[in-house]
Amino acid sequence: MLIVKRVKGFVRWQLLGGVTVLALLGTLISGCENLWEPEADAQSKPRQPQNRSIAVDAAEAGLGKLRQDIEYTGNTTPVREVSLRSQVEGQLQQLNVDVGDEVKLGQILARLDDDLLLSAVNQAKAQKAAQRSQVVSAQSEVNDARIKVEQARLELQQASADITRLEASLKASIEQARLEAQQTAADAARLRLLANQGAIPEQQAEQAETKAQQAQQSLLNQQASASQQISQAKTRAQTNAQILRSAQAQVAIEQQQVSAAQAEVDAQKALINQAKTRQSYAVLTSPVTGKVLQKSSELGNLVQPGTEILKLGDFSRVKIMVEVSELQLSKIKIGQKVPIKLDAFPQENFSGIVTRISPAADPTARLVPIEITLNNPDVKIGSGLLARVSFPEDEPTKIVVPETALQDESTVFIIKGENQQTRVEARSVVVGNKANGQVEILSGLSAGERYVARSSQPLKEGSPVRLSVLSPQK
């Protein structure tokens, strides 16, 4: 019984499967009939002439070169990198910028603790004040010495005048005494003669002789006294001259002391300026206009002289270093303009200038480092970007098209019209050299004309075409 039931079940499933298959076949046949009906209708109607446009890739004729210039790669770097370092010891109290921030020339970027530096400045100023007081004191001594000099000069002048006056007075007195002595001597001689002649008494003659002797003695005494007075006056004058010289020497000594004190003041001024300069080192300002490339220290760190705090880059221009084969070196010169492409800006073309050619090549690879500089007015070119540099040998002078644009090796199809009226015009051209899938057009095609670079089907004169989305629009 169990076997019979299983057989009946199997037969039932087989029947159901067959019915299902038949239903599917019916549906397919019905669909095919619907497909065949339009075909049949189409065959029953007369054929209409077709004028479908042919899809083409258009291009604009332009000057070019068959062989592409060799392309060298390098990385962009700022035209100048500056390491901002501390010149004094101190704790980093302020750090106003971070990596990537823009900075301006003279902008304050960081500050160090300057308490010790300020103390050194104040101490130097105090020492200068004390030394300045010494200068004033020494100058006062000089003034006193000059007063003494002036007094000694006046006394010397007075002594000289006294000598002159004394000499004149004594000379007059001596002259008078000499005249008196001469007169009394003459009188005595005359009276002696008269007395010898008995004309006058002897006593009168003796009295005259005694008076003459007294006059002579008075002359001698006055001469001796005058000589002594003059000698004493000259001695006083010499003493005054010595005092004057001593006072002048003292003035010179005091002036030297003033000069020494002033020199110390000047030296202290230099120390103050040095201390102020060291204090100014506590404020770190930007030496360039650019961006922060690297931050090498943090707030609170104790920095020593020479410790790097920030690294800055001047991005007003950027440099690119490429290594060029020595075989290309003869084609490169300083100041040469070169085209540059940056992968970061694929839609833009840049131009740079060769600013440096290394005098030393790699002895193994035979490569020469070349430096190219390009302007970066918008500062959009950063550091480390991949740059592609080529050194064109000459300017293109011939029109170059892809070989796929040629038909029968000498025909190019020019695109005429717009939109639905776009058609092609066959034009014979003279071709030149071929290389790398490109061909030179010597004549027959002008720069700026649009031509068919590639076609999905063979073309002929007047064929209607439609431009692909890759084709440049007029």
Render pLDDT for 158-216 as a digit per residue (tens, 0 to 9).
Answer: 878 878 887 787 788 888 888 888 888 888 888 888 888 878 888 887 888 888 888 88
pLDDT of amino acid 474: 60
Distance from chain centroid for Cα 295: 22
- Give me the amino acid identity at 350: F
Q: Which residues pair with 426 in a beta bridge?
A: 413
> 339 vs 70, 276, 320, 349, 382, CA distance in Å?
12, 51, 12, 7, 18
Q: CA-to-CA distance for 100 and 294, rounded, in angstroms?
A: 8
Could you please report the per-residue DSSP string of 138-202?
A: HHHHHHHHHHHHHHHHHHHHHHHHHHHHHHHHHHHHHHHHHHHHHHHHHHHHHHHHHHHTTSS-H
Rg of the chain (C-alpha set): 62
- Give me the amino acid identity at 315: F
Q: Which residues pair with 80 in a beta bridge?
A: 314
CB under 8 Å to 420, separation ≥6 — which residues? Answer: none
Burial of 239 (C-beta count, 10 Å sphere; 0-12/13-18/19+)? middle
Per the structure block, which two tokens stand in for 165? Answer: 């006056």
Q: CA-to-CA distance for 305 and 271, rounded, in angstroms?
A: 19
């007015």: which residue's tokens?
Answer: 377
The list of the chain residues with pLDDT below 70 reads 1-51, 67, 394-396, 470, 473-474
Burial of 400 (C-beta count, 10 Å sphere; 0-12/13-18/19+)? buried
* 170 in Cβ contact with 226 (< 8 Å): yes
Q: Closest Cα partner for 373 from 356, 392, 361?
A: 356
- The whole-model pTM stands at 0.50
Angle at 142 between CA 139 and CA 145, to 5 degrees: 155
Per the structure block, which two tokens stand in for 453? Answer: 């670079």
Q: CA-to-CA distance for 122 and 221, rounded, in angstroms?
A: 78
Q: CA-to-CA distance for 131 and 257, rounded, in angstroms?
A: 12
Phi, psi (rounded to 5 degrees) for 372 = -115, 135
Per the document, the length of the chain is 474
Question: Cα-Cα-Cα-Cα dihedral of 386, 103, 293, 379, to 10°?
Answer: 0
Judged by DSSP in three states, 138 sits in: helix
Q: CA-to-CA distance for 236 and 241, rounded, in angstroms?
A: 9
Largest interatomic CA distance in the chain: 235
> 290 vs 70, 217, 252, 286, 309, CA distance in Å?
33, 112, 60, 9, 16
* 329 in Cβ contact with 79 (< 8 Å): no
* 320 in Cβ contact with 372 (< 8 Å): yes
Which domains are seen in the chain, by residue range? 55-66+396-467 (2.40.420.20), 71-112+291-390 (2.40.30.170), 118-279 (1.10.287)
Q: Closest Cα partner for 89 from 300, 305, 294, 342?
A: 305
